[in-house]
Amino acid sequence: YDAGDLRRFAKPKRDALVACYLVEARKTLLDQIIEMNDLFLTGTNRRARNSVEKQRKILRRRARDGLHRVLGAVDALVAADGAQTVEAFRDGQNPPALIEAAIACRAYERLESRGHLDAMLARYGTLRQYLPAFFGLPFEAASGSETLLQAVEILRALDAGTRGPLTTNDPHGFVAAEWRPHLVTADKAGGKAPDKLDRAIWEVSLAFAVRDALRAGGLFLAQSRDHVSFWNLVYDDRSWQETREQAYGRLDLPTDGQAFLDRLAAEFDRAARAAQRGLAGNHFAAIRHGRLTLKQRDAMPVPRPLRELRATIGASLGRVRIEDLLQDVDEWCGFTRAFQPLGGYQPRSADPHRSLLATLIAHGTNLGLAAMSQSVDTLTADALQDTSRWFLRPATIKAANTIMVDHHHSLPFSRLWGSGDRSSSDGQRFAVERDSLLGSPYPRYFGYYDRALQLYTHTSDQHSVYATQAISCAPREAGYVLSGILDNDTALDIREHTLDTHGFTEHLFGLCPLLGIAFMPRLKDLPDQVLSRIDRATDYGALQPLLRGRINVALILEQWDQLVRLAASLKDRLTPAHVVMQRLANANASDRLAGALTQLGRLMKTIHILRYIHEAPLRDAIQLQLNRGEFRHILAKSLFFANWGSFRSGDYEEVMNKASCLSLLSNAVLVWNTVHIARIVAQLRTAGHDVNDDDLARVSPLMHAHVIPNGSYFQSPRQRAAPAPEPAMA
């Protein structure tokens, strides 16, 4: 609502809306300040290390040449005639060059010993421009981090001028080990006063320590949304006691952790025995010199009949414009009914339905509202802006997408690809033209200067996208895996999930079985993974050298109730899963809960790897599902064509608007293609062609060559899909 809209409400409602907005805005701003500080410190540290590396390349050659000259002078001194005068010896060694050599060697030695520290201290003035205000935030400390909060209070007093210089009696254990030799400044007066600390080194170290503590939850802001105390993210003690029994039932977990571990131990033993027996005839993996080695890639071959079937279906799909495709899908499932306007909306468009579809296309193709208005004769930019403002919200777009996914799930033909209980997730990178909290360097694809973000999508085994998140390229994708699965409102009942290496952590391996999810990643560095076991006494033959780790069963049993409490909190959506995953990933080594989850995750990872190297059907199923995610990426690139496929703005809400609409468009293409592929297959079979269901399962319904996403939209009369000739096998 803008100010004019708010004036239409009665004063009590208007005041309540503004008050609620301010409370939520404070939470958002606090979280954004923490994120900005994190990104700035991380970027500053990266730039400092890059500058040191550049200096090292310059000084290395000079230092090497200087060392040769100094060593030559030493050799000459040893071999010199005893009767030679010092002055004559000095003149023979070229003193200016020798001095330059010594300077170069000392400069390189200083760079190696404290180059990173000097680079950070050179940026201390920049940090001081905002750190006093940042440290003024109302931080609170979790148990074990009180010393860090004390250091923050000392810095506040230093900035206020209410205390003297820092001494060795002040907290300084957070200073990095390589910086500590330079931290203490001896008392020159020679008195009994404690030695002083270098404030710049101490303050820069404190800034990084606070950043890390905010990541791990050691420090928190009670009034923020994501950076609150960890135990505010899960059921509190009273609520947990009230819901504990029901939570165990919902999660289908035994109250006795030993029963759960006995079940996993039996599963581990079966997987290990099967892998051991199958090693002799295993064409995928072998154990050589005590190490796991892979004999072949786990990619699936594409036989010629499958290629021909794909070509036949692709050629038989009639060309269709994106707006006509959307209208067809809307007639079938009515997804536009989910777009209900905000309260107080007053119709301003003569054709709200066309305006809504045009707005979805404008966002989903990255064309933008202004450019879309120039491509539709009957709609203005103001009308599209009005529709976007009143109708497009995260809740309405998600509801519309749910209708579309559920409709596709109900189509009999969709069962050929899967039952809707398996999915995968992966990130797709897009350039972003403006700085934002989402944008970060991604040199692999965008160089060292341009910034990118990624759209992290969850794709079901029926090819539908049921979750979309806009995230930074900096953190691991693993933190966002559970968010998409747990926030799923569609008819899809996800029981199995797979992804690539970048999306796995041992914490995630540990949480998934508690949530009833079979986690099945494809691990790129499979031979380097450490396998663990529960009982060292059991002999598993050739597998023995691989089972180097041991599971701490006692720790899992100690924390069993807390593990279930955490899983229940995530299952019941008390907090965003990515926030919990970030805390767990950055937890201290002494954190008992994170440690127990790691131990459980190592056991689940071992079971998965043993099954993966032994069971070819499991590898094929994982590869097939990951391929479906890749097909969706190709479709998304085709649809998101405008502005070279890059985001012009880094605003989170605008990015999410476009990302969600893009998922909506890709799901519409999926529904339309599925309906027409079913017709094509029926015609082929009627004509006597043998179309195998196993081959159909590997034909992607996300073909897009026949979909026209650009040009002039909503030409009258409406263009139906051009009828294709009777299909014939290629």
Secondary structure of 311-331 as H, E, C letters: HHHHHHCCCEEHHHHHHHHHH
pLDDT at 724 over 60: no
Residue 426 β-bridge partners? 457
What are 437's two structure tokens?
A: 């909290």
pLDDT score of 140: 95
pLDDT score of 192: 65
What are 62's two structure tokens?
A: 């000079």
User: What share of residues in the chain are helix, strand, coil (percent, to 5)?
Assistant: 60, 10, 35
pLDDT band, very low/low/confident/very high, at 84 (cuts 50, 70, 90): confident
| DSSP tag of 248 | H
662 vs 360: CA distance, rounded Å: 8
Q: Strand 320-321 to strand 422-432: parallel, antiparallel, or no bridges (unpaired)?
A: unpaired
675-705 burial, b if ≥16 CB within 10 A, otherwise e?
bbbbebbeebeeeeeebeeebbebbbbbbbe
| Cα–Cα distance list, 649 to 36, 438, 475 (Å) | 17, 10, 21
Could you read off the pLDDT of 459-475 as tens digits, one per residue? 999 999 999 999 998 88
Could you read off the pLDDT of 47-78 as tens digits, one per residue? 999 999 998 888 888 888 888 888 888 888 88
295 vs 272: CA distance, rounded Å: 19
pLDDT score of 730: 58
Quick one: average pLDDT of 247-263? 95
Name the residue type at position 382.
Answer: D
638 vs 597: CA distance, rounded Å: 41
CA-nearest of 315, 189, 198 to 725 is 315
pLDDT at 404 over 60: yes
| DSSP tag of 225 | S
Query: What is the CB neighbour count within 10 angstroms for residue 205?
Result: 22
Query: What is the CB neighbour count within 10 angstroms for residue 267?
Result: 16
205 vs 221: CA distance, rounded Å: 20
170 vs 165: CA distance, rounded Å: 10
pLDDT band, very low/low/confident/very high, at 437 (cuts 50, 70, 90): confident
pLDDT at 249 over 60: yes
Could you read off the pLDDT of 112-166 as tens digits, one per residue? 888 999 999 999 999 999 999 999 999 999 988 999 999 999 999 999 999 999 9
CA-nearest of 463, 450, 378 to 700 is 463
Could you read off the pLDDT of 309-355 as tens digits, one per residue? 999 999 999 999 999 999 999 999 999 999 999 887 877 777 899 99
pLDDT at 449 over 80: no
Please name the helix (run of DSSP H) or strand (run of DSSP E) that holds residue 712, with its range, or none: none
Please name the helix (run of DSSP H) or strand (run of DSSP E) that holds residue 126, with its range, or none: helix 124-128
70-92 burial, b if ≥16 CB within 10 A, otherwise e?
beebeeeeeeeeeeeeeeeeeee
Q: Burial, 604: exposed, middle or buried (Cβ in 10 Å; 0-12, 13-18, 19+)?
A: buried
Quick one: average pLDDT of 533-555? 91
What are 463's two structure tokens?
A: 């090819």
Please name the helix (run of DSSP H) or strand (run of DSSP E) that holds residue 305, with its range, or none: helix 304-316
| DSSP tag of 236 | -
Residues 6+ apart with CB under 8 A from 713: 321, 322, 323, 358, 361, 372, 375, 376
pLDDT at 491 over 90: yes
* Axis crossing angle, helix 592-614 with helix 506-514, rounded to the nearest 10: 90
Whether the link from the prior residue into 717 is cis, omega within 30° of 0, is: yes
pLDDT score of 710: 92
| Cα–Cα distance list, 343 to 390, 527, 590, 683 (Å) | 9, 58, 51, 49
Query: What is the CB neighbour count within 10 angstroms for residue 213?
Result: 23
pLDDT at 702 over 60: yes
Residue of 704 and 97 predicted with greater confidence: 704
Query: What is the CB neighbour count within 10 angstroms for residue 200?
Result: 16
pLDDT at 434 over 90: no
| Cα–Cα distance list, 722 to 250, 311, 316, 707, 725 (Å) | 50, 18, 10, 11, 10
pLDDT score of 189: 54
pLDDT at 729 over 70: no
pLDDT score of 8: 86
Quick one: average pLDDT of 96-101? 85
φ/ψ of 432, rounded to 5, equals -130, 130
678 vs 672: CA distance, rounded Å: 10
Mind giving me the DSSP string for 582-645?
Answer: HHHHT--TT-HHHHHHHHHHHHHHHHHHHHHHH-HHHHHHHHHHHHHHHHHHHHHHHHS-GGGG
Could you read off the pLDDT of 672-687 as tens digits, one per residue? 999 999 999 999 999 9
Q: Are 581 and 508 in contact (CB under 8 A)?
A: yes
pLDDT score of 92: 74
Q: Burial, 67: exposed, middle or buried (Cβ in 10 Å; 0-12, 13-18, 19+)?
A: middle
Name the residue type at position 662.
Answer: L
212 vs 228: CA distance, rounded Å: 14
pLDDT band, very low/low/confident/very high, at 725 (cuts 50, 70, 90): low
Query: What is the CB neighbour count within 10 angstroms for residue 19?
Result: 10
pLDDT score of 301: 83
| Cα–Cα distance list, 730 to 303, 309, 684, 688 (Å) | 14, 7, 11, 14
With tokens 């992966």, the residue in question is: 426
Could you read off the pLDDT of 623-664 as tens digits, one per residue? 999 999 999 999 999 999 999 999 998 889 999 999 999 999
* Axis crossing angle, helix 577-585 with helix 199-216, rounded to the nearest 10: 130
Residues 6+ apart with CB under 8 A from 667: 401, 404, 405, 408, 464, 465
pLDDT score of 190: 57
* Axis crossing angle, helix 652-686 with helix 394-410, rounded to the nearest 10: 10
Name the residue type at position 529.
Answer: Q
Please name the helix (run of DSSP H) or strand (run of DSSP E) that holds residue 450, with its range, or none: none
Mean model confidence pLDDT for the chain: 91
pLDDT band, very low/low/confident/very high, at 719 (cuts 50, 70, 90): low
Q: Are 470 and 453 in contact (CB under 8 A)?
A: yes
pLDDT at 111 over 90: no
pLDDT at 225 over 60: yes
478 vs 680: CA distance, rounded Å: 39
Cα 351 to the center of its chain, rounded Å: 40
Could you read off the pLDDT of 655-667 as tens digits, one per residue? 999 999 999 999 9
